[in-house]
Amino acid sequence: MRYFIELSYRGTAYHGWQAQANGVSVQTTIEAALSQRFGYPMYILGSGRTDAGVHAEQQFAHIDVPEPLALSDSLIYSLNCILPEDIAIKTIFPVRPADHARFSATSRYYQYHITRHKNAFQSGLTYHFRPELDEGLMNEACQLLLHTKDFKSFSKARADVTNFLCRLDLAYWERSRDRLTFHIKANRFLWGMVRTIVGTMVEIGQGHMNLDQFETIIEAKDRNRAGRAAPANGLYLVEVTYPPEVLAERILLG
């Protein structure tokens, strides 16, 4: 039987979502907790890979098991007691055998948070960036992004993909008091794409790059032309979207 796991995590202490040979990952930490709780090796597959230091308010993974799980609030509670404080399982629910955490997803929504002033309670959770940024100009750049299909200029050079095409559903900057938040939603994201876009737009917001130069970077399809990637700590995976039938059995527990 196949189950989906809905969870969240603070990525500061982890070398990304995917299992790594040289560091602790979110995936392997959850697998260890599941294996301990159920008494046999368990393996999960996530909706996508987040980089080292990136956070997730909502992430999904699927797991295949030989016998039905006895789903209950106490099961979720026991798993969360095994897991470290920076990973939380929200619910586990059955899905159809063909439903896939990665390939059944229709979109992913990320936010990137920038703050100008130091906050003792947000350390490691936002990008503390002192210079003023012109979000109006950055939003003009977003309009160019929304007409873009090929994002090769914003993908890490070693990305293992057959193409660099993405369909953006939204891209905009929003200011709220001291915080500047970038919202971006697409059917898929390339390795390092959001952080590279943010890093390039920070150049625009400071007046170090104009819109014509930004458009030239997009058209170049060359990662070396884009700006430096923004730090991982400001980036959050906020929502993963699936067709309603995939989430039909989803009940929040824990």
Token pair in block for residue 140: 């003009």
In a domain, 12, yes or no: yes
Give the pLDDT band (50/70/90) at residue 158. Answer: low
**86 annotated active-site:** no
Same domain, 194 and 112: yes
Same domain, 111 and 96: no
In a domain, 250, yes or no: no
pLDDT in tens, 27-40: 999 999 999 999 99
Helix H or strand E segment including 58: strand 55-64
Number of separate domains in the chain: 2
Binding site as annotated, residues for substrate: 110
Same domain, 49 and 124: no
Same domain, 35 and 113: no
CATH number of residue 27's parent domain: 3.30.70.580
Give the pLDDT band (50/70/90) at residue 159. Answer: low
Closest alpha carbon to 60 in 75, 46, 79, 70: 46
Q: Which of 36, 71, 104 is the last residue of a domain?
A: 104
Q: Which of 79, 104, 129 is the last residue of a domain?
A: 104
Binding site as annotated, residues: 110
Same domain, 49 and 160: no
Same domain, 79 and 151: no
CATH number of residue 190's parent domain: 3.30.70.660
Same domain, 120 and 89: no
Same domain, 220 and 149: yes
Give the pLDDT band (50/70/90) at residue 71. Answer: very high
Same domain, 6 and 88: yes
Domain that holds residue 92: 2-104
Same domain, 140 and 190: yes
Same domain, 68 and 139: no
CB neighbour class for 190 (10 Å; exposed up to 12, middle 13-18, buried from 19): buried
Q: How far is CA 238 from CA 59, 161, 199, in A?
A: 8, 23, 19
pTM of the model: 0.94
pLDDT in tens, 85-112: 999 999 999 999 999 999 999 999 999 9
Same domain, 111 and 176: yes
- Which of these is catalytic: 51, 99, 150, 160? 51
Neighbours of 59 (CB within 10 A): 26
